[in-house]
Structure 1
Amino acid sequence: MSQVKREYNEIPVTHLSNGAKVTLPLHTIYGKEAGPVLGLSAVIHGDEIIGAEILRRVYERLNEEELSGTVLLMPVANPLAFESLTRNTPLDMNNLNRVFPGDPQGWVTEQLAHAIVTNFLDKLDAYIDLHAGGAVPIVDYVYIQNDEALSRAFNFPVLYRPAHPYEGTTATYTSAKGIPSVTVEVGGGPNYEQAVERGVEGIFNCMRHLKMLPGEVVPAPEQVVMTEIQIIRPTQGGLLVPGFDFNAVGSVIEGKQVLSRTYNPQTFEELEVIHTPFERNLVILMRGQLNKVNPGDYGFMIGNLDTAEEA
């Protein structure tokens, strides 16, 4: 590499009706030595903001003199959803992480996906995508996509090997192209400092695994691979009172226990009681504080420990 430098560019996508430009931020860090191109993205869902802070700290701490290869960072992949703090793009209510590879002539969300593919994903040799529980829930696990060793190197205790991966995601697209890909689910809700730092350290450890940074790869903790995770969505809206706080994330709840009760805030009527679905319940995603809930919101994600792969 002839020159060590950093670049920042804004990728044009479209214009809003008021004339404002819609662009995508892209930071490029060139290492001193040759090596792979690693892509890091966050905030594909606009209410999953912790990833933007994780990438800011990676950008701040990464030393180009020690870097072999190139790092591309896209800290806000859906700026329209980020502005409204919503999972989906508010203009068309589409989920950006279900429409890849997108369409330059399609909905604005499809235009965003097409711009991300052509200006970011197609340039990569490896890829890490950061997600979170959202504005209220907290989550903690890493997907196994097409490179189990790279997923394990993120050093989270819980991994998930889905039987039927979601279609239309960034990782679906990159995996099909043979690009080693990792999807991370970390934090959300209060976005604790510990969760931010675990995300930063996970990225740096993956970079050591890819030989992009010097030093030994930090050995993974004891890890369990989930093959069965049940997503539980409240069917009734109201005031949700949890049976456990956020400390339950990553823990095991034995037997059928109450996860939450939802009440009508006006009449005080109990509308719904949500129970754990398995005998040995590993808490993956949790609403751990009193909050308003809408019918169909993400409530809980519970893994069946009896069908897990322990390694």
Structure 2
Amino acid sequence: MQLIPSPISATLDFAAPGVSHGFLRLPYSRDDAAWGSIMIPITVVNNGEGPTALLTGANHGDEYEGPIALFDLAATIRAEDVTGRIIIVPAMNYPAFGAGTRTSPLDRGNLNRSFPGRPDGTVTQKIADYFQRVLLPMADVVLDFHSGGKTLDFLPYCAGHILSDKRQEAAAFDLVRAFGAPWSVKMLEIDAVGMYDTAAEEMGKVFVTTELGGGGTSSARTAGIAKRGLRNLLIAAGVMKGGVQAQPTQWLDMPDADCFTFAEDGGLIEFLADLGDVLEKGQPVARIFPVMRTGLAPVTVHAGRSGLMMARHFPGIVKPGDCVAVIGVEVEE
């Protein structure tokens, strides 16, 4: 079967020396532009011999620390600071980023569940396909910034995944350590099918991610963590010159699915614990009040395991099946 080429084209040369700014141009015919395009900003920096780092933000469009750190890096980076190649895509799901939504407003596609993508599919599938077939194969190290978006709030952490390849896992945890977020997580994914993370790791790439705050906004603190951690990671990966600014971090483990607590009822949520609180297994985490009428007793949601509350549902209304809380276990490095 003949491989269908990607419809996306880059307006820059990935091998050109120095700093290059351009776009990934995806043709998109729409009502207001018959021959229109989606223009995804990209910066490529080449200088000398060294590994390639692929840096991405706004995989989900309502998460902002990553785009802040990456637009800032693209505006300030100098070629002489680089020892290899850096590919910067501050808003990989650009349609979602422009709309401030988790998924694309064009096809409701969740980019982080769309890999390996399709060159003849929806807009989101075409973006995934380009990363799968063009950008990821170039990379040695991949950093994909995430935050809680509009529906979750997190303790600010950097994470690597628990992998069967322990050398690949160890390399990722080394970069997590260098990033220097207040918390560092050995992450267990419960929904890994179609993820950018999975695509990168199956290619043998060293993959690191973050969760930095949430609520569909950012703060000076979380943006600062993103910018400092980005620089530290690039230096530790051998892609940027300088010294790592070491920061204290507390490691958390996610040993099993009991870390995740889900709502079985919908309604108004009252949290009984806050981020960073230590919980015992079975301890009440939240109450959910039915809102169809008054006089009904709330339903209590309990912790599935003992540990530290590292994430929580953000809006005040929950639906059945929503993740209410995530509990991690504090561990020594």
Q: Which TM-score bucket, shorter chain as reference?
A: 0.7 to 0.9
Give the secondary structure class of the aligned counterpart of 1:57. Answer: helix
Correspondent of 1:238 among 248, 261, 267: 267
Residues 141 and 284 in structure 1, CA contact (< 8 A), matched pair in contact too: no
Name the CA distance, whole Å, in 2 between partners of 1:253 and 1:57. Answer: 38
- Closer/same/farther in 2, CA of residues 22 and 79 from structure 1, 3 Å limit: farther
Q: Unmatched 5+ residue regions in structure 2?
A: 1-14, 162-167
**Across the two proteins, how many residue pairs are aligned to each other?**
303
- Closer/same/farther in 2, CA of residues 83 and 234 from structure 1, 3 Å limit: farther
Residue number in structure 2 paired with 1:162: 188
Percent identical: 25
Residue number in structure 1 paired with 2:72: 57
Where do 1:286-297 residues align within 5 Å? 286-287=312-313, 291-297=316-322
Residues 157 and 185 in structure 2, CA contact (< 8 A), matched pair in contact too: yes
Q: Does 1:105 align with 2:120?
A: yes
Correspondent of 1:4 among 6, 18, 23: 18
Amino acid at match of 1:182: V
Cα offset for 1:102?
Answer: 0.7
Residues 31 and 66 in structure 1, CA contact (< 8 A), matched pair in contact too: no
Where do 1:78-117 residues align within 5 Å? 78-117=93-132
Residue number in structure 2 paired with 1:122: 137
Amino acid at match of 2:62: D
Give the secondary structure class of the aligned counterpart of 1:283. Answer: strand
Q: Does 1:48 align with 2:77?
A: no
Give the secondary structure class of the aligned counterpart of 1:60. Answer: helix
Residues 13 and 112 in structure 1, CA contact (< 8 A), matched pair in contact too: no
Where do 1:12-51 residues align within 5 Å? 12=26, 14-16=28-30, 19=33, 21-51=36-66
Cα offset for 1:188?
Answer: 1.1
Where do 1:144-293 residues align within 5 Å? 144-145=160-161, 146=168, 147-156=172-181, 157-162=183-188, 166-189=192-215, 190-219=217-246, 221-228=248-255, 230-244=259-273, 248-254=274-280, 256-268=282-294, 269-278=296-305, 280-287=306-313, 291-293=316-318
- Closer/same/farther in 2, CA of residues 22 and 257 from structure 1, 3 Å limit: farther
Q: Provide Cα deviations, 1:169-225, integer angstroms capped at 9, x if missing partner.
A: 222112222221112121211422211110111110011102222222233524324
Name the CA distance, whole Å, in 2 between partners of 1:237 and 1:19. Answer: 42
Residues 69 and 212 in structure 1, CA contact (< 8 A), matched pair in contact too: yes
Q: Provide Cα deviations, 1:65-96, integer angstroms capped at 9, x if missing partner.
A: 32222221112222333344333334444422
Cα offset for 1:234?
Answer: 2.2
Give the secondary structure class of the aligned counterpart of 1:34. Answer: coil
Amino acid at match of 2:320: P
Name the CA distance, whole Å, in 1 between partners of 2:46 and 2:277. Answer: 40
Structure 1 stretches of at least 4 aligned residues deviating more than 6 Å after TM superposition: none
Residues 13 and 23 in structure 1, CA contact (< 8 A), matched pair in contact too: yes
Give the alignment's TM-score, normalised by structure 1: 0.84
Name the CA distance, whole Å, in 2 between partners of 1:24 and 1:232. Answer: 39
Name the CA distance, whole Å, in 2 between partners of 1:84 and 1:270. Answer: 38
- Closer/same/farther in 2, CA of residues 298 and 227 from structure 1, 3 Å limit: closer
- Closer/same/farther in 2, CA of residues 227 and 298 from structure 1, 3 Å limit: closer
Cα offset for 1:159?
Answer: 1.1
Residues 24 and 74 in structure 1, CA contact (< 8 A), matched pair in contact too: no
Which is further off, 62-71 or 205-214? 62-71
Give the secondary structure class of the aligned counterpart of 1:35. Answer: coil
Residues 241 and 260 in structure 1, CA contact (< 8 A), matched pair in contact too: yes
Q: Does 1:132 align with 2:147?
A: yes
Residue number in structure 1 paired with 2:159: 143
Residues 284 and 303 in structure 2, CA contact (< 8 A), matched pair in contact too: yes
Q: Unmatched 5+ residue regions in structure 1?
A: none
Residue number in structure 1 paired with 2:6: none
Amino acid at match of 1:199: A
Q: Does 1:310 align with 2:320?
A: no
- Closer/same/farther in 2, CA of residues 237 and 49 from structure 1, 3 Å limit: farther
Name the CA distance, whole Å, in 1 between partners of 2:37 and 2:195. Answer: 21
Amino acid at match of 2:242: G
Cα offset for 1:300?
Answer: 1.6
